[in-house]
Structure 1
């Protein structure tokens, strides 16, 4: 069974503060391209831990791809119960719409937030339950996902584990291609 986890920047780490920010469309397009390649190689499950930003955008892309690939499944496995508790109402509604359409929803810790160890346990769980990591992250711009990347690289030293990274250079190329394609249509 081919199972991958997807993570990356939170919206504010990218300067994205509105759901309809044009940057989100490009990020989703990049995620879709990578997920399609993984689907061609047998991807069956996408697992996220439900962080806002890249993870939820990847969930949206996965849910859209299910129309074309009905066997594709989405799991949301949160680090702890009620991680969305302190989020704004509209953000909670968005998140709950994703949870409602996911094929599997669970929490690593069966308690609400207790401490940072719950994130570490969740990261370790994801590494052990997946065969690869798709990550939108660039070492040039640090963010919360840098810790997971470091952990994944360390895990990779002892286990067969694939890491696919989308960088800002990749995004720049994608945006330029999209602009060129748009210009050709006008």
Structure 2
């Protein structure tokens, strides 16, 4: 069994506030490529959190790829605590709830509402002990909330066989250039 934890920037950290933002299309393209390769390499479970941004987008992409790879993998949304997202606006709460109903499995690591940062550390420990590798869309030169996950993953990997991959802003720029080139080529072909 191979279980992949995907995490990364929140949508607001990337300046993405609408689903049709061109930056989102590039990130979706990168996620599709990375998740597809993970499936080919034997990933059974795509596991992520419920944060707006990379975590939700990775689960959405995973759900979309089930048509191309039927029966080959499952998706799981793990939340750090009960009532996660309850302080978000209605639209974002609705997105979270809709995605929770689509994934194959969803649960909270803590059955209590948010009480302390220890719940977030427990969540990280849970994710590390229930996955075999990680993919982070995160750039060390542009810190964000995922720095905590990166630090924990890096420290864990120093003492355990736990590969992880960072997709940086340079990687995203290369993907954006390739995406634009493909768009230009498809327009020229028409």
Instruction: State the TM bucket, normalised to the shorter chain.
Output: over 0.9
- Report SS of the residue matched to 2:78: strand
Q: Report the counterpart of residue 4 of structure 2 in structure 1.
A: 4
Give the Å deviation of 1:178: 1.3
Q: Report the counterpart of residue 131 of structure 1 in structure 2.
A: 132
Q: Report the counterpart of residue 169 of structure 2 in structure 1.
A: 168
Give the Å deviation of 1:107: 0.7
Structure 1 segment 110-125 matched on structure 2, within 5 A: 110-125=111-126
Q: Report the counterpart of residue 62 of structure 2 in structure 1.
A: 62
Where in structure 1 are there 5+ consecutive unaligned residues? none
Deviation sequence 1:150-178 (CA, Å, 0-9, x none)? 11111001110010111111111111111
TM-score (norm 1): 0.97
Does residue 148 of the first structure (1) align with residue 149 of the second (2)?
yes
Give the Å deviation of 1:57: 0.4
Deviation sequence 1:11-62 (CA, Å, 0-9, x none)? 1111112222111111111011111111111011011121110000001100
4+ long deviations beyond 2 Å = none
Q: Report the counterpart of residue 44 of structure 2 in structure 1.
A: 44
For 1:102 and 1:67, the matched residues in 2 are separated by 14
Does residue 35 of the first structure (1) align with residue 41 of the second (2)?
no
Give the Å deviation of 1:101: 0.6
Give the Å deviation of 1:98: 0.6
Give the Å deviation of 1:181: 1.5
Give the alignment's Cα RMSD to 1 decimal: 0.9
For 2:153 and 2:41, the matched residues in 1 are separated by 21
For 1:138 and 1:31, the matched residues in 2 are separated by 16
TM-score (norm 2): 0.95
Q: Report the counterpart of residue 79 of structure 1 in structure 2.
A: 80
For 2:131 and 2:157, the matched residues in 1 are separated by 12
For 1:4 and 1:74, the matched residues in 2 are separated by 10
